[in-house]
Amino acid sequence: MVQRFAAGRTGLDGWDMRLHPIGGSMEQFEHYQKPALTRRETAEGEIVESVVWCALILGLAWAPFWYGSNDPVAWGINAIIFPGLAIFYELSLLIRNRSHPVALQVVMIPAILLSMVIVWIAIQLATWIPGFFANPIWSLAGGALTEKLRGSISADRDLTNLALLRLLTGASVFWLALQLCRDTTRSLRLIAAIAAIGVLYGLYGLVVVKTGQLAVLNIPVDEKRLSSTFYNYNSFATYAGLCLVAASGLTLSLYRQGIVRGAGWRLRLSSFIDTTGHRGAVLIAACFVMLVALLMTGSRGGVVSTGIALAILGALSLWQGRKHDEALNGTVLFGIFLAAATLVAFGSTFVDKIDTRGLSDPNRLLVYRLTLQSILDKPFLGFGYGTFPVVFPMYRDRSLSVDGVWTQAHDTYLEVLQGLGLVFGAALIAAIVVLVIYALKGSLRRRENAVVPQITVGAACLVGIHSFVDFSLQIEAVALLFMALLGAGVAQAESSRRSLAD
């Protein structure tokens, strides 16, 4: 019967089964047809993922433009773009009946920790909690509390809602990068796109120093310091540092592949010059632009933390080529020489800042002390995620100058612990640390394509160190960029030959 069917009918998709006699069971027929369907489904999946990937890149390119996304308008737009992309991507997988490239089980521990934090933030926002759990600030309304003014753990529910919105936006960027960058080529293109975006904003910042900002951006211009489209010099320094780490990682990877190893020094030098004259010239120019822009911010914390991040990136690269890879050793030394020359030529703003203000700020030390005092007053409940601007004035005393308004603690860790309490604040920090450890293991373990997790580890060291002395990671453009790098690094922490799909 099957033979007669095959001889006289045309199969699915216009296949003429007379040319492909099966002569067996229907299961064999279905197995014969499957490769063509798989190729078509794969092509459709590639189109969908490419569209989502391009939209992610465009979103990351937009984020720094509007004051580094440090504005409620930008928060709203980003909350539509990135979670919307994540929802669209999940729906596309559901419709196509496809699995996730990286299963949730791979990041189960950070996912559980983040879920705990989100549930706790929801509890902090709740108005149905017993009155003795509510923040005392709500009792100032006396007995005239209305339903709208019912007490909560959070001292300011509006600020907590905004902070939760930014947290979910960052998580969606991480999830998209994690899934899309399981493909090695796509992950490298993401790193290259980040470097290119950084160069564009760095060049714009250099132009602004001489010509002024765009009319739509109301940012004061300092002829000696560069902030590009960011309000704060230190925030742009972190952003520029992340892009510099990305470009430097690509440069090291290029020279590792381009320079001939195991040959005489003449051949190695010739291949070094040939690599530099072709693709290497573009990457070196990108690193130069970003380094100049970074130095001209004058940010002490930004420059120092970026220097440490680049040193760690170089150490990881040398570890990967530790078996007498003279070519890579020479590349690292060449990079150090160029960085030193750039510091001498363009580092006057940075050096002058250190000469005039030193490496420490006494006022920040006082703010740290007062913030720590507030943490100890509510070690478990916290004051509500993101409520530092309304909590700190209650603890500010005469030890701190009356000049200025402190809307950030200039220490992200202290702010997180103050807002969420010690338990859930530590859980949020631990979620990021665990992901960085995944990337670190990949950068040490992988023999090929280790550059992406190496860049991730360097970027994590940059923001991790700078967060001790500033609030750049609380600027959404910086946070989203770091989340994209973190997702790509975790996705590439395992060999591409091993399936991580669910």
Backbone angles phi, psi at 500, to 5 degrees: -110, 10
147 or 252, greater pLDDT: 252
What's the pLDDT tens digit per position in 439-455? Answer: 999 999 887 788 999 99
5 or 40, greater pLDDT: 40
Q: Provide mean pLDDT across the span 391-408.
A: 85
pLDDT exceeds cutoff 90 at 349: no
Percentage of residues in the chain having pLDDT higher than 70: 77
pLDDT exceeds cutoff 50 at 15: no
Q: Which residues of 462-495 are buried (b: 16+ CB within 10 A; e: fewer)?
A: bbbbbbebbbbbbbbbbbbbbbbbbbbbbbbbbe
Given a contact cutoff of 8 angstroms between Cβ atoms, the answer to whether 297 and 210 are in contact is no
pLDDT exceeds cutoff 90 at 330: no
Q: Which 3 state secondary structure label does DSSP give 262?
A: coil
pLDDT exceeds cutoff 50 at 16: no
Provide the CB-side half-sphere exposure for 165 (13 A, CA). Answer: 18
Q: How far apart are CA 231 and CA 319, in angstroms?
A: 38
168 Cβ neighbours under 8 A, 6+ residues apart = 79, 83, 118
Q: Which 3 state secondary structure label does DSSP give 102?
A: strand
Q: Give pLDDT, residue 325.
A: 57
Q: Provide mean pLDDT across the span 273-278.
A: 71
Given a contact cutoff of 8 angstroms between Cβ atoms, the answer to whether 478 and 194 are in contact is no
Please report, in angstroms and rounded to a whole number, the separation of the first and last CA atoms in the chain: 39
Q: Give pLDDT, residue 357.
A: 63
What DSSP string describes 418-472? HHHHHHHHHHHHHHHHHHHHHHHHHHHH-SSS-HHHHHHHHHHHHHHHHTTT--G
What DSSP string describes 336-357? HHHHHHHHHHH-HHHHHHHHHH
pLDDT exceeds cutoff 90 at 492: yes
Helix axis angle, 300-320 relative to 451-466, nearest 10°? 150
Q: Give pLDDT, residue 9.
A: 37
Cα dihedral 485, 486, 488, 492, rounded to 10, equals 130
Q: Give pLDDT, residue 136.
A: 82
Q: How confident is the model at residue 132 (pLDDT cuts 50, 70, 90)?
A: confident
pLDDT exceeds cutoff 50 at 11: no
Placement of tokens 């000696």 in the chain:
224
What's the pLDDT tens digit per position in 100-116? Answer: 999 999 999 999 999 99
Query: Encoding tokens for residue 59?
Result: 């979103």
Query: Encoding tokens for residue 250?
Result: 């690509």
Count how many residues are written for the chain.
Answer: 502
pLDDT exceeds cutoff 90 at 220: no
Helix (H) or strand (E) holding 390: helix 388-395
DSSP 278: I
Backbone angles phi, psi at 222, to 5 degrees: -110, 125
Q: How confident is the model at residue 255 (pLDDT cuts 50, 70, 90)?
A: confident
Placement of tokens 């669209």 in the chain:
88
Which range (14-23, 244-253, 388-397) has the least confidence? 14-23
- For residue 397, with 0-12 CB atoms within 10 Å meaning exposed, 13-18 middle and 19 or more buried, which class applies? exposed
| Backbone φ/ψ region at 290: left (φ over 0), alpha (ψ -120 to 50), beta | alpha
pTM of the model: 0.86
Q: How far apart are CA 118 and CA 132, in angstroms?
A: 22
Cα–Cα distances (Å) from 258 to 280, 352, 465, in that order, read 9, 39, 33
Chain centroid to Cα 193, Å, comes to 13
Q: Give pLDDT, residue 392.
A: 92
Q: How far apart are CA 155 and CA 167, in angstroms?
A: 18
Which range (73-77, 255-259, 379-383, 489-493) has the least confidence? 255-259
Query: Encoding tokens for residue 119?
Result: 């549930």
161 or 127, greater pLDDT: 161
Q: Give pLDDT, residue 495.
A: 81
What's the pLDDT tens digit per position in 402-418? Answer: 777 888 898 999 999 99
pLDDT exceeds cutoff 60 at 8: no
Range from 16-25, 182-191, 334-343, 344-353 that averages highest in pLDDT = 182-191
Q: How far apart are CA 338 and CA 355, in angstroms?
A: 24
Q: How far apart are CA 101 and CA 104, in angstroms?
A: 10
Q: Give pLDDT, residue 482.
A: 98
Q: Give pLDDT, residue 24.
A: 45
DSSP 135: -
Q: Which residues of 203-234 are buried (b: 16+ CB within 10 A; e: fewer)?
A: ebbbebbeeebeeebebeeeeebbbbbbbbbb
Q: Provide mean pLDDT across the span 291-297.
A: 91
Q: Give pLDDT, residue 352.
A: 61
**CA angle 59–63–64, rounded 5-degree value:** 140
pLDDT exceeds cutoff 60 at 323: no
pLDDT exceeds cutoff 70 at 351: no
Placement of tokens 């860790």 in the chain:
413
Which range (182-191, 279-288, 457-466, 483-492) has the least confidence? 279-288
